[in-house]
Amino acid sequence: MVPRVLVVGSINMDLIVQCPRAPRAGQTLHGTAFTTAGGGKGANQAIACARLGARTRMVGRVGNDAFGAELRENLAAAGVDTTAISADPEAATGVALIVVEETGENRIVVVSGANGRVDEQEVARAEALLGEADVVVMALEVPLSVVKAVAMLARERGVRCLLDAGAATTEVVDLGLPALVSILSPNESEAEALTGIRVDDLEGARRAARRLREMGAKEVVLKLGAQGSYWLGDEGEAHVPAFPITPVDTTAAGDAFTGCLAVELARGRPLPEAMERANAAGALACLRLGAQPSLPGGAEVEAFLAEAEKG
């Protein structure tokens, strides 16, 4: 059976500057290159899912402008069904300013634009499509009221809901979102934003995951960058180590991970196995510049895993 994924989320044009290191406050530095690429956590996750072989639909909003048209084309070209993406005549398409350092680390500032106007119309579109999804994926770059409404609908319909805690704030906790989703997946800084617990090693990850479970999260999957990923859930825990790589640009590594996790769960793979493949997808996304251009397809993930197995 072909896995079916519904993504409700953000769509951005990424404006990317490469430079040796990010400037300090008040400092002006020379960058080495500028480029634009499709981005937005939702759109990245949708493209990741489609490239990995899922029948993928996306619900979201762009502006009625050139960036919006280009981003919809990118999604459609990757095989994502874009019929539930609308163009808002009163807002610009979302943009993200991304500074990528020589180390591959990034710093991102998002201006939401049309993403911030996602509302009950998108909830209704998601509701109509939930019946045809094995997994619904969301992040936190669209209004939290929408994320909450879709999570509640998914729960009612028995559809697995994977919430990537990208752009997390404490409001997520105040709204009770951890208890509404099937899987909550923050990275280190997002886990710290949600729990107040510093996550810089496995012990910190365990403590933060336990805290998120106390907040009602059923399954917690932490993205730990160079340390891999960590799962704590009803049936146990697992640390899945990362694949060693030298990153060019870590942008969208988390989205590649989330997309791959969603697809593998939709295929019925158990969490720790799905995480190993998601770690591979995340590693591959670090090897190329830009969010959407870096997202791997299924054959690339298979080849990477086969190579890693050989040692």
Q: List residues near ligand RIB by CB under 6 A.
A: 10, 12, 14, 39-41, 44, 96, 108, 110, 141, 166, 251-252, 254-255, 291
Q: Which two tokens stand for residue 37?
A: 């690429």
- Residues with catalytic roles: 255
At 301 the three-state DSSP class reads helix
> Which DSSP symbol is given to 295?
-
Whether the CB-CB separation of 173 and 215 falls below 8 Å is answered with yes
Work out whether strand 12-19 and strand 33-39 pair parallel, antiparallel, or are unpaired.
antiparallel
Least distance to ligand RIB from the beta carbon of 306, Å? 27
Work out whether strand 33-39 and strand 106-111 pair parallel, antiparallel, or are unpaired.
unpaired
Which residue, 39 or 228, is less far from ligand RIB as judged by CB? 39
Which residue's beta carbon is nearest to the bound ligand RIB? Answer: 39
Least distance to ligand RIB from the beta carbon of 222, Å? 16
Which residue, 58 or 110, is less far from ligand RIB as judged by CB? 110
Which residue, 41 or 206, is less far from ligand RIB as judged by CB? 41
Which residue, 74 or 227, is less far from ligand RIB as judged by CB? 74
The CA distance from 310 to 199, in Å, is 32
The CA distance from 1 to 47, in Å, is 19
Which residue, 166 or 247, is less far from ligand RIB as judged by CB? 166
Least distance to ligand RIB from the beta carbon of 62, Å? 13
Q: Which two tokens stand for residue 90?
A: 């009163």
Which residue, 128 or 226, is less far from ligand RIB as judged by CB? 226
What contacts 221, CB < 8 A, 6 or more positions away?
A: 183, 184, 185, 229, 230, 231, 261, 271, 275
The CA distance from 282 to 164, in Å, is 14
Most distant pair of Cα atoms in the chain: their distance: 55
- Provide the CB-side half-sphere exposure for 6 (13 A, CA): 28
Tally Cβ neighbours within 10 Å of residue 73: 12
The CA distance from 228 to 224, in Å, is 5
Least distance to ligand RIB from the beta carbon of 40, Å? 5
Least distance to ligand RIB from the beta carbon of 105, Å? 13
Least distance to ligand RIB from the beta carbon of 199, Å? 18
The CA distance from 64 to 76, in Å, is 17
